[in-house]
Structure 1
Amino acid sequence: MNLDASLVEHKRGFDLHLQGRPSEAEPFYRKAVQLDPELKEAWMNLGLVALSLGKAEEAQQCQREALRLDPDMADAHNNLGMVHYSLGRMAEAESCFRAALRLHPEHANATLNLGSVRQIGNDVEEAEGLFRCALALGVDPARANSNLSLALMEQVRPEEAETCCREALDMRPDYPEARANLALALLMMGRLEEGWQAYESRWHVEAMAAPPPTLPRPRWTGQALNGETVLLYAEQGFGDTLQFCRYASMVAAAGGRVVLVVPKPLGRLMTTLEGVAQVLSEDDAFVPPFDYHCPLLSLPFAFGTTMETIPAATPYLHADPSVWAEALGALPGLKVGLVWAGKSRIEQPHAVAIDRRRSMRLVDMAPLFAVAGVSFVSLQLGPPAGQMRRPPGEIVLHDFSDRLGDWADTADLIAGLDLVIAVDTAVVHLAGALGKPVWMLNRFDSCWRWFIGRDDTPWYPTMRLFRQTRRGDWAGVIERVRVALQDLVAAGRR
């Protein structure tokens, strides 16, 4: 053991670490623990570097080694919690953060991190309190304010969230998370012009968008076009693509030749979009020459979209109802499609938490099946569709999912229905894009795109929103939908 040499190596690594150069700090930390395997601080900091470099399992081993050497290291407990958080192990993360706070009740970072875990655990009020406590304890105020803004957004308090984001940006103008959260608050309040501009920071926030592709031509930001080819591409989920593909025809009308790149399951449907010269799959190896490119969710910014200029003409996607005429013609009464759950991105803890809030169970829809004169058709795909194997009560639900190969098939099925009732998933965007009547069952902390205080949406003229009046209250939503459905059936009989 060479204690002095180990401390020197650790100090070199620590200095580089503080400068935001973790890859350069790593070999010095490794040398430090090699020279002195009992230097707990070096193990702990090596774990932090490993986590920042995407080596979560090694980071966990390093923090555990630090805690073996000293079980009372509050920082190591907090750091181990961060590793668990990165791996989506929320229960283990919470246990670690609470252990750090038992040892050091005023540990600012553990307080902030515990707030993030409690927010994901659906205790947003406790999360808000923890974020405010972390601010009082002197944690990084930009980060704490940014986190607090999300907790406020979940409580539908976008004005307060805006204030928090602006305070964060006053302290750190280049903080992308705060600017992206500001975008969400502004968009929710209908302040679209500033919101779209701030939303461009999403590319620097891992939880919001994948890194943008490196493309050889410049971005299209609204400049004049005279026949140039503009490559438009999907960047987020199916629902985002279905909502914002409407802008492709606007690019064509502005003088561009549009090539659209989308996930393969959307490809056939997108050929019905007006103004698109060519549709490519993300799996295609060859991309034709182009002059400009633009991601779909940047098109509202490029066109300067305001509440008054949202392009709301529908349908902008098209389907063939005759495909399902025979199957649906055999069903009596009003034909209503149902979706009760979304698709969860399990690699993103916040996305999983949102999906839990926006989704319900099939059994929660049971009161709808008591409405006479309706035949219900499942539009549900993915694991939640398994709930149909043991339908609760008197539920009768017709399932054609074995014939749905892609989104064009689903569009044809929706075209043959009278109404779609669904939680906030891609299906509601598809129904709206087809110009079909659609009732969306909306969680309390509505997505920014549905704004606040509305039971309609300028994005889709045929959509009606049924929003929770309090967190988690699907029963109240379903009762209002049941009454509306009953009225619709009665009106059809008159």
Structure 2
Amino acid sequence: MQVASKTASDLHREGDEHTQAGRFEEALKSFQSALALDPLSAPLRFNIATTLHALKRFKETVAWYDKTLEVAPGLAMAHHNKATTLLLLGQIAEGFREYEWRKVCPGWADDARYALERPWRGEDLSGKTLFIFPELFQGDLIQFGRYALLAERAGARVILGAPAAMHALLATMSPTITLIADDAPTPDYDFQCGHMSLPTLFGTTLKTIPSFRQYLQADPERVARWKRRIGDEGLKVGIAWQGSVRANLRSFPLALAAERLGRIPGVRLISLQKHAGLDQLGALAPGAVETLGEDFDPGPDAFVDTAAAMTCCNLFITADTSGVHVAGALGAPTSVVVPYVGDWRWLERGMDCPWYPSVKVHRQRVRDDWTSVFDDLAKPIRKLASRT
């Protein structure tokens, strides 16, 4: 009895199953076999590209998104994913140009602000009002808030949209930037722009990223308050281990950090974690990680106590969360730990972060292995603690 050969659909489905199970090498083989039977399939070309990305074969990833676009030139997500891969490779100018395709991607295209009149396209801003509306998440707003300062330096009167909870922190960038709620009525303006388009409009390259050493400020009264609470003893290491519930792949287990770092003589781990992940504290021995109490950032203003506490610590260690952007914008010494395939803003290699001079990047060398990351971190922390 002859066994029927697998069809392209069979192999495609098989590749999807391998992907969901994290078997990326097997997934790639299945997708390639399917493509041999259906060579003009845009979905298969797209899946090959995304699988190569998961395997950290980034130059090949870009090539396969290009192959996808050969047969489906208007496929917005292929343009978007190609953009983030180019950014990860450090091809900043080209990546942000391609990133303009986000505006027609699912989940983005229904934002009515993209259709506002008078988009800024690089015209002289002297004496003009530029309305910058927010995109994506809190960390992105902090990271790209620096471009509001560049716009001011170019002579613009800047109106920056942001969630009301972010205003107290963002107001420290400049006293002359006007902040409005992200859901407020559209203000009067001469030009408007989404904040993720500003790098392209300012001609940003890897060498010209406006990497201000510090462009946010912690409130001095809060700094004094948390300094009294935290004290001066030991090497004070702030720690945040989880972003939103959706950020599990970027989160690390607090118990591992406590084991590898908290046992170093002189080291004090101090939780700067908010919301998701706090349940992990209950699994630790009492005192393994210090907490700052119920009055730590309890009110409507996000990050104001977090920013102050960060300046009271010798070092901040964090997963890829919005906290790393707060710390980086404050110029606070920070180590961000990222998974095997990290977000584009941390680039593909190296420890230095072009967006934040005070941030060092520590990467998984093996997928899902956080242990070696914290073993590597323990070495410089042990030296710092010995000098404290």
Q: TM-score over 0.5 for the alignment?
A: yes
Partner of 2:244: 343
1:333 matches 2:226? no
Q: Distance in 2 between matches of 1:263 and 1:123?
A: 39
Contact 1:249/1:275, CA 8 A, preserved across alignment:
no
**Counterpart residue number, 1:82:** none
1:441-481 Cα offsets, whole Å, 9 max, x none, are 11111211111221111111111111111111100001011
Measured on the aligned residues, the alpha-carbon RMSD in Å equals 2.2
| Equivalent of 2:73 in 155, 173, 185 | 173
Contact 2:93 2:204 in 1 (8 A): yes
Indicate conservation of the 8 Å contact 2:239/2:272, yes or no: yes
Runs of 5+ consecutive residues of structure 2 not aligned to the other structure? none
Displaced runs of 4 or more, over 4 A: none
Measured in 1, the distance between the counterparts of 2:205 and 2:65 equals 22
Q: Which amino acid aligns with 1:328?
A: I
Q: CA deviation at 1:220?
A: 1.4
Partner amino acid, structure 2, of 1:138: D
Residue ranges of structure 1 left out of the alignment (5+ in a row): 1-102, 346-354
Aligned partners of 2:147 and 2:198 also within 8 Å: yes
2: CA distance, partners of 1:184 / 1:413: 32
Partner SS state of residue 106, structure 2: coil
> Whole-Å Cα distance in 2 between the matches of residues 134 and 155 of structure 1?
19
Kept after mapping to 2: 8 A contact 1:369/1:394: no
- The 8 Å contact of residues 422 and 439 in structure 1, kept in 2 or not, is answered as yes
Please, which of 349, 359, 377 is the counterpart of residue 453 of structure 1?
349
Say if 1:289 and 1:157 are closer, same or farther in 2 by CA, change over 3 A.
Answer: same
Cα displacement (A) at 1:307? 0.8
Return the TM-score normalized by structure 1.
Answer: 0.72
Offset at residue 120 of structure 1 (A): 4.2
Query: SS of the counterpart of 1:369?
Result: coil
Q: 1:280 aligns with which of 164, 171, 180?
A: 180
Query: Equivalents in 1 of 2:47, 2:170: separation in Å?
Result: 37
Q: Which residue of 1 aligns with 2:321?
A: 425
Contact 1:443 1:467 in 2 (8 A): yes
Matched, 1:356 2:261: no
Contact 1:253 1:275 in 2 (8 A): no
Call closer, same or farther: CA 1:243–1:332 in 2, change over 3 Å. same
Task: Deviation per CA, 1:397-441: give whole Å up to 9, x if none.
Answer: 223354213222221221222210011111111101000000111
Are the counterparts in 2 of residues 378 and 400 from structure 1 also a CA contact under 8 Å? no
Partner of 1:293: 192
- Please say if 1:148 is aligned against 2:48: yes
2:87 paired residue number? 187
CA distance in 1, matches of 2:190, 2:126: 11
SS in 2 for 1:399: coil
For residues 129 and 154 of structure 2, the distance between their equivalents in structure 1, rounded to whole angstroms, comes to 12
Q: Indicate yes or no: 2:111 matched with 1:212.
A: yes
Contact 1:414 1:420 in 2 (8 A): yes
Match of 1:442 among 338, 342, 355: 338
Which of 287, 290, 303 is residue 407 of structure 1 equivalent to? 303
Query: 2:235, 2:384 within 8 Å by CA — same for their partners in 1?
Result: no
Which is helix-richer, 1 or 2?
1
Once residues 262 and 300 of structure 1 are traced to their aligned partners in structure 2, the CA distance between those partners, rounded to angstroms, is 18
| Equivalent pair of 1:220/1:293 in contact (CA under 8 Å) | yes
Cα displacement (A) at 1:240? 1.0
CA spacing shift, 1:471–1:187, aligned 2, 3 Å: same
Shift of 1:226: 2.3
| Matches of 2:288 and 2:271, distance apart in 1 | 12
Cα distance change on mapping 1:462 and 1:232 into 2, 3 Å = same
Aligned runs of 1:126-275 on 2, under 5 Å?
126-138=26-38, 141-206=41-106, 209=108, 211-214=110-113, 215-274=115-174
- Secondary structure, aligned partner of 2:218: coil
CA distance in 2, matches of 1:229, 1:317: 22
Residue 280 of structure 2 is aligned with which of 370, 381, 387?
A: 387
Q: Which residue of the other structure, out of 212, 215, 219, is the alignment partner of 1:316? A: 215
Larger Rg: 1
**1:227/1:385 CA distance change after superposition, 3 Å:** same
Aligned to 2:359: 463
Does the C-alpha gap of structure 1 residues 272 and 210 become closer, same or farther in structure 2, counting only changes over 3 Å? farther
What's the CA shift string for 1:49-71, capped at 9, x where partnerless? Answer: xxxxxxxxxxxxxxxxxxxxxxx
Query: 1 CA distance for matches of 2:120 and 2:139?
Result: 23
Q: Residue 394 of structure 1: CA displacement?
A: 6.9
- Tell me: higher relative CO, structure 1 or 2? Use CA pairs within 8 A at least 6 residues apart: 2
8 Å Cα contact 1:258-1:275 kept in structure 2 = no
CA shift, 1:305, in A, is 0.5
Check whether the contact 2:11–2:31 (CA below 8 A) recurs between aligned residues. Answer: yes
Q: 1:229-256 CA distances to partner (integer Å, 9 max, x unpaired)?
A: 1111221111111111111100111121
Counterpart CA distance in 2 for 1:104 and 1:246 is: 60
Q: Which moved more, 1:222-231 or 1:116-125?
A: 116-125
* Identity within the alignment, %: 32
- Does residue 371 (structure 1) correspond to residue 272 (structure 2)? The answer is no
Once the two structures are TM-superposed, the CA of residue 105 in structure 1 deviates from its matched residue by: 6.5
Distance 1:257 1:187 in 2: 30
